[in-house]
């Protein structure tokens, strides 16, 4: 007779741990299964080491610009790549160790280091044992996609699983795939003095949907490394490296960074034993508000479900799965306002609804050109474009997309505004300190306001019916 527990969580990453925090509120009778390496993708090979590298590369770039402008004596510093990689690993180890300790603290003896496979809805093979459970949470994450034909020259292919373990980096490198990883790491490596070429088959980079913002992004980022978009890149081995051909462009490189997206770790998980139809990627149907798989006592959260492979969404999905896996009745949860930030320079961000999902006739687009933004000029980083999408009828902010300095902060602010269903007028009554990058957002909001109604700008300060007696100063 198989041992029975209330819940089995497969995967101790960010989604699995978020689920566990909820489950522990209701039961001690759970198991957390992970074959390792433990410590989460985010801390080990994802968000955190990549941001550590981007910071060093950004500092090098700043120093090079000061030298070029003659504002410091001497030449631009040359990057010590092995030292930078060691520095990134040291920080990374701190983050990963912290996550590992948190995992052990949370799960204690209920953490089992083994591979898990579903045998049926309430049956899981854990290593060599069979377990029975009332509910299962699948939080197995994803891995970098590497096309089958590339296996022939695998030793010249880096992915984010191997990148941060390198002691040094090749001097000529092609980044294939110009989504979030390709652009973030491609720019960082170019700033470290590596010759980098970027190839993407999508005409849009960084997942940008707004064509005008995309054009500005390509122009801004290709000043640092050439970007070839909108065509398939063909790769063949040469005596000393790899040849990349994309239309008329042909180059030879030492290695490739494959940044082609992620593949959920569901192969070998036994999904075929659940008696449900899988999609063409081999993924099960699930409800994104309950995380339930079909009508089974199974939940799927994080990168594993192939839907929104970013950290805060993985954590939210783990939370929902954890609550529902221990609830007497499964309930739907509201998902947050969509938010995406790409940590290139200038930063790219998208918040709320994207332009491809909006009816062009029902919105106005407020625009701010950051080449003319005063704080950005003072800091010599004046480039970029910000678009806000506003409902023509009620002036409500629906979404925004941008490539601008400080986009991470503007996007967070806009996410709150969209979540609170604020209008352009509501936002324009907010104080905007001078000189800040937020004043660039005000330019876009005023532009949108002018296009609404009769074209008159809204009154940004209200007349007070009875002004407070207290002095302001």
Ligand X SMILES: NC(=O)c1ccc[n+]([C@@H]2O[C@H](COP(=O)([O-])OP(=O)(O)OC[C@H]3O[C@@H](n4cnc5c(N)ncnc54)[C@H](O)[C@@H]3O)[C@@H](O)[C@H]2O)c1
From the list ligand FAD, ligand X, none, partner contacted by residue 233 (C-beta under 5 to 8 A by kind): ligand X
CB of 101 to ligand FAD, least distance (A): 15
Site for ligand X (CB under 6 A): which residue of 11, 121, 170, 177?
A: 177
Task: Characterise 262 by phi-psi region: left (phi > 0), alpha (psi -120 to 50), beta (else).
Answer: beta
Site for ligand FAD (CB under 6 A): which residue of 303, 391, 401, 447?
A: 303
Q: Is 434 noted as a catalytic residue in this protein?
A: yes
> Interaction with ligand X in 216-255: which residues (CB under 6 A)?
232-233
Residue 374 in 3-state DSSP? helix
Distance, CA of 294 to CA of 300 (rounded, Å): 10
Q: E strands, 221-346, where?
A: 227-229, 234-237, 242-246, 249-253, 255-258, 262-264, 298-300, 339-342
Residue 141 found at the interface with ligand FAD (CB under 6 A): yes
Catalytic residue among 35, 204, 234, 434: 434
Residue 184 found at the interface with ligand X (CB under 6 A): yes
Residue 6 in 3-state DSSP? strand
**Residues 133, 329, 298, CA angle at the centre, nearest 5°?**
35
Distance, CA of 18 to CA of 139 (rounded, Å): 10
From the list ligand X, ligand FAD, none, partner contacted by residue 40 (C-beta under 5 to 8 A by kind): ligand FAD
Q: Between 202 and 273, whose beta carbon lies closer to ligand X?
A: 202
From the list ligand FAD, ligand X, none, partner contacted by residue 182 (C-beta under 5 to 8 A by kind): ligand X
Site for ligand FAD (CB under 6 A): which residue of 9, 19, 22, 34?
A: 34
From the list ligand X, ligand FAD, none, partner contacted by residue 115 (C-beta under 5 to 8 A by kind): ligand FAD
Residue 136 found at the interface with ligand FAD (CB under 6 A): no
Region from 12-20, 202-210, 284-292, 395-403 binding ligand FAD, contact rule CB under 6 A: 12-20
Residue 42 found at the interface with ligand FAD (CB under 6 A): yes
Residue 164 in 3-state DSSP? coil
CB of 34 to ligand FAD, least distance (A): 4
Region from 86-94, 200-208, 292-300, 408-416 binding ligand X, contact rule CB under 6 A: 200-208
Q: CA 128 → CA 16, 115, 125, 135, 247, distances in Å?
A: 22, 9, 7, 20, 51
Distance, CA of 329 to CA of 265 (rounded, Å): 28
- DSSP-derived letter for residue 2 is -
Residue 350 found at the interface with ligand X (CB under 6 A): no
Distance, CA of 198 to CA of 204 (rounded, Å): 12
Q: Was 181 annotated as part of a binding site? A: yes
Site for ligand FAD (CB under 6 A): which residue of 311, 320, 344, 449?
A: 311
> Interaction with ligand FAD in 232-291: which residues (CB under 6 A)?
265, 269
Radius of gyration over every alpha carbon of the chain, rounded to an integer in angstroms: 25
Comparing CA positions, the residue from 385, 377, 395 lying closest to residue 350 is 385
From the list ligand FAD, ligand X, none, partner contacted by residue 352 (C-beta under 5 to 8 A by kind): none
CA atoms within 13 A on the CB side of 191: 23
From the list ligand FAD, ligand X, none, partner contacted by residue 201 (C-beta under 5 to 8 A by kind): ligand X
Residue 272 in 3-state DSSP? helix
Please identify every residue annotated as catalytic: 434
**Interacting residue ranges for ligand X, rule: CB under 6 A:** 176-182, 184, 199-202, 207, 232-233, 259-262, 309-310, 341-343
């Amino acid at each position: 007779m198989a041992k029975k527990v209330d819940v089995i969580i497969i995967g101790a990453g960010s989604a699995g741990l978020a689920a566990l925090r909820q489950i522990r509120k209701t039961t001690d009778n759970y198991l957390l299964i992970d074959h390792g390496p433990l410590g989460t993708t985010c801390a080990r090979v994802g968000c955190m080491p990549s941001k550590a590298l981007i910071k060093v590369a950004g500092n090098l770039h700043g120093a090079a610009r000061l030298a070029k402008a003659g504002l410091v004596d001497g030449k631009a510093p040359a990057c010590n790549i092995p030292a930078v990689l060691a520095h990134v690993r040291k920080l990374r180890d701190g983050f990963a160790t912290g996550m590992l300790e948190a995992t052990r603290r949370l799960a204690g003896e209920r953490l089992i280091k083994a591979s898990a496979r579903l045998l049926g809805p309430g049956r899981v093979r854990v290593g060599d044992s069979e377990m029975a459970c009332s509910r299962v949470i699948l939080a197995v994450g994803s891995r970098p996609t590497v096309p089958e034909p590339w296996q022939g020259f695998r030793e010249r292919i880096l992915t984010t699983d191997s990148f941060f373990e390198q002691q040094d980096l090749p001097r000529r490198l092609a980044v294939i795939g110009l989504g979030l990883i390709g652009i973030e790491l491609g720019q960082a490596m170019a700033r470290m003095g590596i010759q980098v070429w970027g190839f993407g088959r999508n005409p849009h980079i960084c997942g940008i949907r707004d064509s005008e913002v995309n054009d500005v992004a390509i122009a801004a980022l290709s000043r640092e490394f050439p970007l070839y978009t909108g065509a398939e890149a063909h790769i063949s081995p040469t005596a000393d490296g790899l040849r990349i051909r994309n239309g008329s462009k042909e180059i030879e490189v030492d290695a490739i960074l494959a940044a082609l997206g992620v593949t959920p770790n569901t192969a070998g998980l036994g999904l075929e034993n659940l008696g449900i139809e899988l999609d063409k990627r081999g993924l099960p149907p699930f409800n994104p508000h309950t995380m339930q798989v079909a009508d089974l006592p199974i939940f799927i959260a994080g990168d594993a479900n192939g839907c929104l492979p970013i950290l805060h969404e993985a954590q939210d999905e783990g939370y929902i799965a954890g609550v529902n896996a221990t609830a007497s009745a499964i309930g739907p949860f509201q998902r947050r306002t969509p938010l995406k930030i790409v940590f290139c320079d200038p930063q790219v961000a998208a918040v709320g609804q994207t332009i491809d999902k909006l009816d062009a006739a029902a919105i106005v687009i407020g625009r701010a050109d950051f080449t003319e933004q005063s704080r950005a000029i003072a800091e010599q980083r004046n480039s970029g474009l910000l678009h806000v999408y506003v409902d023509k009828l009620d002036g409500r902010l629906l979404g925004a997309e941008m490539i601008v300095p400080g986009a991470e902060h503007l996007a967070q602010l806009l996410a709150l505004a969209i979540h609170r269903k604020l209008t352009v007028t509501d936002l324009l009554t907010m104080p905007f300190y001078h000189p800040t990058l937020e004043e660039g957002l005000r330019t876009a909001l005023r532009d949108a306001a002018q296009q609404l109604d009769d074209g008159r700008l809204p009154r940004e300060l209200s007349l007070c019916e009875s002004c407070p007696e207290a002095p302001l100063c």
